[in-house]
Amino acid sequence: METIKAMTGDEVAAETIRQINPDVMAAYPITPQTEIVQIFSEFVANGLVDTEMVRVESEHSAMSACVGAASAGARAMTATSANGLALMWEIVYIAASLRLPIVMPVVNRALSGPINIHCDHSDSMGARDSGWIQLYSENCQEIYDNLIQAVRIAEDKSVLLPVMVTFDGFIISHGTERVKILEDEQVRKFIGKYNPRYPLLDIDNPVTYGPLDLFDYYFEHKRQQVEAMKNALDVIKKIGGEYAQLSGRSYDLIEEFGSPDADLVVIAAGSTAGTVKGAIEELKEEGINAKLLKIRAFRPFPQDEIKQSLRKVAVVAVMDRSASFGAVGGPIFLEVRSALLDEERRVPVVNYIYGLGGRNIGIEDIKKVFQDLIQIKKTGKVKNLVNYLGVRE
Amino acid sequence: MPSLKDLSKKEELFSSGHRLCPGCGAPIIVRQVLLAVDTPVVVGCATGCLEVGTTIYPFTAWKMPWIHNAFENAASTISGVEAAYRSLKRQGKIDKEIRFIAFGGDGGTYDIGIQSLSGALERGHRFLYICYDNEAYMNTGIQRSSASPRGASTTTSPAGKAIPEGKTEYRKDLTQIVAAHNIPYVAQASPGYYNDLMKKVQKALSANGPSFINILSPCPRGWRYPADQTIEIAKLAVLSGFWPLYEIENGKYRITYKPRKKKPLKDWLESQGRFRHLLKEENKKVVEELQKNIEEKEKKLLALAGENA
Amino acid sequence: MKEKGWKDVPLGGLILEAGSAKEYLTGTWRTFRPILDEKKCKHCLICWIYCPDSSIIVEDGKMKGFRYDYCKGCGICSTECPFKAIKMVEEAKYKAEKEGEKQNGNN
Distance in angstroms (rounded) separating the CA atoms of residues C98 and C102 = 6
CA distance C27 to A146: 55
**Chain B contact for C8 (CB, 8 A cutoff):** no
| pLDDT score for A133 | 98
3-state secondary structure of B192: coil
| Residue A343 burial (CB count, 10 A) | 11
Strand partners, A255: A294
* pTM for the structure as a whole: 0.96
Residues of C whose CB is below 8 A from A97: 12-13
Domain-embedded: residue B260 = yes
Provide the shortest C-alpha distance from residue C67 to chain B (in Å). Answer: 9
Instruction: Name which of A390, A309, A386 is nearest A357 in CA terms.
Output: A390
The whole-angstrom distance between A23's CA and the closest CA on chain B is 6
pLDDT tens, C58-95?
A: 999 999 999 999 999 999 999 999 999 999 999 999 99
Are C20 and B229 a contacting pair at CB < 8 A? no
Note whether residue C47 is domain-resident.
Answer: yes
Helices (H), B36-159: 49-54, 74-90, 106, 114-123
Any chain C CB within 8 A of the CB of B191? yes
Chain A residues inside the 8 Å CB shell of B76: 56, 60-61, 64-65, 68
In a domain, C16, yes or no: no
Q: Which helix (H) or strand (E) element contains residue A51?
A: none
Please tell me the distance in Å from A237's CA to the nearest CA on chain B: 31
Ordered by where they begin, the domains of chain A are 3-247 (3.40.50.970), 254-389 (3.40.50.920)
Q: Would the CB atoms of B24 and C52 count as touching at under 8 Å? A: yes
CATH number at residue B174: 3.40.50.970
Q: What are phi and psi of B73, to 5 degrees?
A: -130, 30
Whether C15 is covered by a domain: the verdict is no
Q: Name the band, by pLDDT with cuts 50, 70 and 90, for residue C107.
A: low
How many CB pairs (< 8 A) connect A and C?
A: 50
At B1 the pLDDT is 82
Q: How many domains does chain C have?
A: 1
Q: How far is A150 from chain B (nearest CA, A)?
A: 20
| Cβ-Cβ contacts under 8 Å, A221 against chain C | 6, 9, 11-13
Contact call for residues B302 and B241 (beta carbons, < 8 A): no
Beta bridge partners of A106: A80, A166
Q: How many CB atoms lie within 10 A of CB C3?
A: 10
pLDDT band for C105, please (50, 70, 90 cuts).
confident
3-state secondary structure of A166: strand
Mutation to test the C interface, candidates B5, B6, B8, most C Cβ within 10 Å? B8
Contacting chains of A (3 CB pairs or more, <8 Å) are B, C
Question: Among all residues of chain B, which has the CA nearest to that of A21?
Answer: B87
Q: Would you call A217 and C3 a contact, using CB atoms and an 8 Å cutoff?
A: yes
> Domain total for chain B?
1
Q: Is B15 on the interface with A (CB under 8 A)?
A: no
At residue B309, the pLDDT reads 62
Q: With contact defined as beta carbons under 8 Å apart, do B243 and B274 qualify?
A: no
Residue B309 is assigned to a structural domain of this protein: no
pLDDT (0 to 100) of residue B105: 98
- Give the gap in angstroms from C-alpha A70 to the nearest C-alpha of chain C: 13
Which chain C residues touch A220 with a CB distance below 8 Å? 4-6, 9
Look at residue C2 in the predicted model and tell me its pLDDT.
Answer: 81
pLDDT digits (tens, 9 = 90+) for A229-287: 999 999 999 999 999 999 999 999 999 999 999 999 999 999 999 999 999 999 999 99
Count CB neighbours of B92 within 10 A.
Answer: 8
- Contact check, Cβ <8 Å, A220/C11: no
Question: In the 8-state DSSP scheme, what is residue B21?
Answer: P
Judged by a CB distance cut-off of 8 A, whether residue C89 touches chain B is: no
B244, B126 Cβ separation under 8 angstroms: no
Residue C34 contacts residue C87 (beta carbons within 8 Å): yes
Q: Tell me, what amino acid is at B37?
A: V
**What is the DSSP code string of A77-119?**
E--B-HHHHHHTHHHHHHHHHTT---EEEEEE-PPPSS---S-
Residue B17 contacts A where some CB pair is shorter than 8 Å: no
Does the distance separating the beta carbons of B7 and C61 come in below 8 Å? no
At residue C106, does pLDDT exceed 70? no
Structural contact between residues B246 and B130, judged by C-beta atoms closer than 8 angstroms: no
**Are C45 and B229 a contacting pair at CB < 8 A?**
no
N-terminal to C-terminal alpha carbon distance within chain C: 37
CATH number, domain containing residue C63: 3.30.70.20
| Domain span at C62 | 36-90
Residue C62 within a domain: yes
Q: Which residues of A touch C (CB under 8 A)?
A: 97-100, 160, 197-198, 206-211, 213, 216-221, 223-224, 227-228
Q: Does some domain include residue B146?
A: yes
How does DSSP assign B147-190, residue by residue?
A: TSPTT--BTTB---SS-TTS--SPPP-HHHHHHTT--SEEEEE-
Range of the domain at B91: 4-304
- State whether B90 and A209 contact (CB < 8 Å): no
C11·A211 Cβ contact <8 A: no
Chain C residue whose CA is closest to B235: C80
Q: What is the pLDDT along chain A (393 residues), one digit of tens a residue?
A: 899 999 999 999 999 999 999 999 999 999 999 999 999 999 999 999 999 999 999 999 999 999 999 999 999 999 999 999 999 999 999 999 999 999 999 999 999 999 999 999 999 999 999 999 999 999 999 999 999 999 999 999 999 999 999 999 999 999 999 999 999 999 999 999 999 999 999 999 999 999 999 999 999 999 999 999 999 999 999 999 999 999 999 999 999 999 999 999 999 999 999 999 999 999 999 999 999 999 999 999 999 999 999 999 999 999 999 999 999 999 999 999 999 999 999 999 999 999 999 999 999 999 999 999 999 999 999 999 999 999 999
Chain CA centroid to CA A364, Å: 26
CB contact under 8 A, A55 and B63: no
Chain C residues in contact with B64 (beta carbon < 8 A): 18
- Which of A61, A67, A90, A197 is the mutation pick for testing B, counting most B CBs within 10 A? A61
Closest Cα to residue B302, out of B241, B211, B261? B241
Pairwise CB contact (< 8 Å): B80 & A68: yes
- Residues in A touching C18 (Cβ below 8 Å): 206-208
ipTM: 0.96
The answer to whether residue C54 is domain-embedded is: yes
Compute the nearest-CA separation of B156 from chain A (Å): 25
Could you tell me the CA-to-CA distances from B29 to A352, B50, B111, B171, B206 in Å, in that order? Answer: 60, 10, 21, 22, 19
Domain-embedded: residue C4? no
* Listed residue (B58, A169, B132, A267) closest to C22, CA to CA: B58
In a structure prediction context, what are the per-residue pLDDT tens digits for chain B, which is 309 residues long? 899 999 999 999 999 999 999 999 999 999 999 999 999 999 999 999 999 999 999 999 999 999 999 999 999 999 999 999 999 999 999 999 999 999 999 999 999 999 999 999 999 999 999 999 999 999 999 999 999 999 999 999 999 999 999 999 999 999 999 999 999 999 999 999 999 999 999 999 999 999 999 999 999 999 999 999 999 999 999 999 999 999 999 999 999 999 999 999 999 999 999 999 999 999 999 999 999 999 999 999 999 999 976
Q: How confident is the model at residue C1 (pLDDT cuts 50, 70, 90)?
A: low
A220 in Cβ contact with C9 (< 8 Å): yes
> Do the domain assignments include residue C9?
no
Interface contact B76-A61, CB threshold 8 A: yes
